[in-house]
Chain A
Amino acid sequence: MMILGQTTTLFDWSWVSRNLDNIWDRTVEHLTLTGVAIGFGLLFSVALASAALKWPRIYEPLASFSGVLYTIPSLAVFALVAPLVGIGTPTERFITAEVALISYTFLILIRNIVTGIRGVAVETTEAAFGMGYRRSQVRRSIEVPLALPVIMAGIRIATVTVIGLVTVTSLLGLGGLGFFILDGLRRSIIFPTEIIVGVVLSVALAAILDLALLWLGRAVTPWAEKGIS
């Protein structure tokens, strides 16, 4: 490709080899942001879903609210959260990013936890009670394990969604693979290699995690028929 008389290749492997450390660090940042978002998202979702299962009346409002959160464009969420948390320090920026990311996991996780548990066959829980299980034991040893395929499916979707969104958090200067995309675009001469590295790696990350979670899901639910998750 000829740009301003300079010869550049579409993809510059030497840049990659010069920046391996950087690429690694950004990948780790990306995974950290994702992991923290999924972890806390799951924590809050479990709490909220438990409440919704206990008081069915709050499920509808809860689902609607997380639905609304989900539809707000990611950039707008950052913009909304930033003034509340601040973006002065790295910690503040991290929290701002996470608040936004976590809010995106709610819709999928809460919905899948609740439907998963509600989907457990009545005869199964009735048999469990009939055998002398306590309420908490039914939840722990019957309902949750049986809801796992649906819950795992939710975790997979949430993970893939968050990985995509983390590329946007680089706007807050938080790194992640989005950094490369942004950096490649910001240069006076657009640098495709950097953009490609950012895009390809975040897509690869999403695909790998999706497959890993699929595998994990099957490993923890050996009883489930293939094709559910």
Chain B
Amino acid sequence: MRFSGSSIGLGSGPNLKSADVSDSRYVRPAMIRLDHVSKVFLGTSQPAVADLSLEIGRGEFVTLVGPSGCGKTTTLKMINRIIEPTSGSIEVAGRDALSVPPHELRRSIGYVIQQVGLFPHRTVFQNIATVPSLMEWDPGRIEERVAELTELMGLGTELLERYPSELSGGQQQRVGVARALAADPPVLLMDEPFGAVDPIVRSRLQEEFLRLQQQLGKTVLFVTHDIDEAMYLGQRVAILNLGGVVEQYGTPIEILSNPANEFVEEFLGGERGLKRLALMPIGDSELVRGPVVERSASLAEATAVMDAHHVDWFGVLDGDQLLGWVDRSDLDGRSIRDLDLRPIEMSVSSSDSMRVALDVVVTGHTRHALVVDDGFYKGMLDVESIAGEIPE
């Protein structure tokens, strides 16, 4: 969404999934496969995880979400064997995770936890270099890799010689991610990594991390208790109930469109329709051309266009460029070419979400959201076409 001058992000950005992303995942080979996995903790009778099977495709970003006690963290920690499963089998990158020595398995799996867990007695450099040092890379290669990650995570090089206690929460979390990525593991496990930072920093970290993941193509399994975070980040979302029961596993749009059962519905909370809109890029819907005319059009043509659309305004185009708009009351007999055009104050782009379009339609007085990409007019959305995307 573009306001004249300033812009705010409202569900816009890299989180939007177009339909083909979710379709292609089914052909991806599994990177993580849990098969009838269970975990019963010593001294308890109720299993934390009863019988869980889950597949995460190569390069896929999956979020695990559920109420506390649903076994989501237990599930995550069984994959890198911080917690040993009671039964079942786990495969990571085609290897039987339960038959390789845990420390070897873990060096190929990046791990980020909520409390970050940076080593307080080691500098930022040493923290990031943890796994490469364990794997005995030569110092030159380690230095190169740390520099690369520092850049990637947007950390200043002046931070490298500091200790973790000298960093802000957001910086610590970035170092935590850099440390997890250091040996370039194909898989990343993240346990509420952004839970401990304030909401503003959190949403920035989320956005950055999504962009990063798209760039790196890691397979990510991300645990959170926050359904909005799960929906925002995950290409697929697994909703867990107590005992590690997978209530639904699908793309955010699938889940919001068709909640599998009452539990999922309740867990999704209110405003399901709006949440779904926030995940749909405008580019995926059909746009109408709307009441627009060429600059060279006659007044009669303009009036006819307004009447056809039952509106009292029209947009003026110069080829693909949207120059501005005219209110019916502005017409004083001058030709359109000579009129002073009103500037387009609010427009949206194809990559914005339908939710953003809805906001523009509701707040703007044209009742239409004009879609403009880099100055080129793509068409417009009216309130009916947006409402049509809200189920029931």
Contacts and interface: CB of A to CB of B under 8 A. Distances in A.
A126 interface: yes
Interface string B94-107: 00000000111111
Given A131-B131, A131-B134, A145 B121 contact: yes
B119 interface: yes
The listed residue with most B CB atoms (<10 A of its CB), out of A124, A142, A146, A225, is: A124
B34 to A, nearest CB: 18
Contacts of B117: 121, 123-124, 126-128, 130
B266 to A, nearest CB: 32
A142 B119 contact: yes
B106 A130 contact: yes
A132 B81 CA distance: 11
A123 B120 contact: no
Nearest to B106: A132
A223 B165 contact: yes
Interface in A109-152: 121, 123-124, 126-134, 137, 142, 145-146
The listed residue with most A CB atoms (<10 A of its CB), out of B111, B118, B119, B165, is: B119
Contacts of B119: 124, 127-128, 142, 146
A140 B221 CA distance: 31
Contacts of A126: 82, 113, 117
A35 B106 CA distance: 43
A137 B179 CA distance: 18
A134 B113 contact: no
A221 interface: yes
A134 B107 CA distance: 11
Contacts of A223: 120-122, 163, 165
A144 B132 CA distance: 21
B206 interface: no
Interface string B114-134: 111111111000000011001
Nearest to A135: B103
Contact of B130 (A131, A222, A224, A225): A131
A217 to B, nearest CB: 13
B106 A123 contact: no
The listed residue with most A CB atoms (<10 A of its CB), out of B104, B106, B117, is: B117
A120 to B, nearest CB: 9
Nearest to A146: B121
Given A223-B163, A225-B165, A131 B113 contact: no
Interface residues of A, number: 21
B80 A130 contact: yes
Contact of B120 (A131, A137, A146): A146
Contact of A130 (B82, B104, B118, B165): B82
A55 to B, nearest CB: 17
Nearest to B111: A130
Interface in A208-224: 221-224
A27 B147 CA distance: 53
Contacts of A124: 117-120
Nearest to A144: B121
A14 to B, nearest CB: 53
Nearest to B189: A130
A123 to B, nearest CB: 4
B103 A123 contact: no
A132 B113 CA distance: 15
B167 to A, nearest CB: 12
Interface in A178-229: 221-225
Contact of A132 (B115, B122, B131, B163): B131
The listed residue with most A CB atoms (<10 A of its CB), out of B111, B114, B116, B121, is: B121
A88 B348 CA distance: 98
Contacts of A221: 121
Given A131-B130, A131-B134, A132-B106, A123 B113 contact: yes
Contacts of B113: 123, 126-127, 130
A121 B120 CA distance: 10
Nearest to B108: A132
B97 to A, nearest CB: 13
B165 A131 contact: no
A78 B111 CA distance: 55
A133 B134 contact: yes
A168 B362 CA distance: 89
A220 B74 CA distance: 37
A224 B121 CA distance: 7
Nearest to A148: B121
Contacts of B80: 130
A131 B118 CA distance: 11
A160 B75 CA distance: 51
Contacts of A146: 119-121
Nearest to B101: A134
B286 to A, nearest CB: 47
A109 B102 CA distance: 33
B134 A123 contact: no
Interface of A: 121, 123-124, 126-134, 137, 142, 145-146, 221-225
Interface of B: 80, 82, 102-107, 109, 111, 113-122, 130-131, 134, 163, 165, 179
Given A124-B120, A128-B117, 9 more contacts: A123-B115, A126-B117, A127-B113, A129-B102, A130-B80, A131-B130, A223-B122, A223-B163, A225-B165
Ranked 6 nearest A-B pairs via Cβ: A127-B117, A130-B111, A132-B107, A123-B115, A123-B117, A132-B106
6 contacts: A127-B118, A129-B102, A129-B106, A132-B131, A223-B122, A224-B120
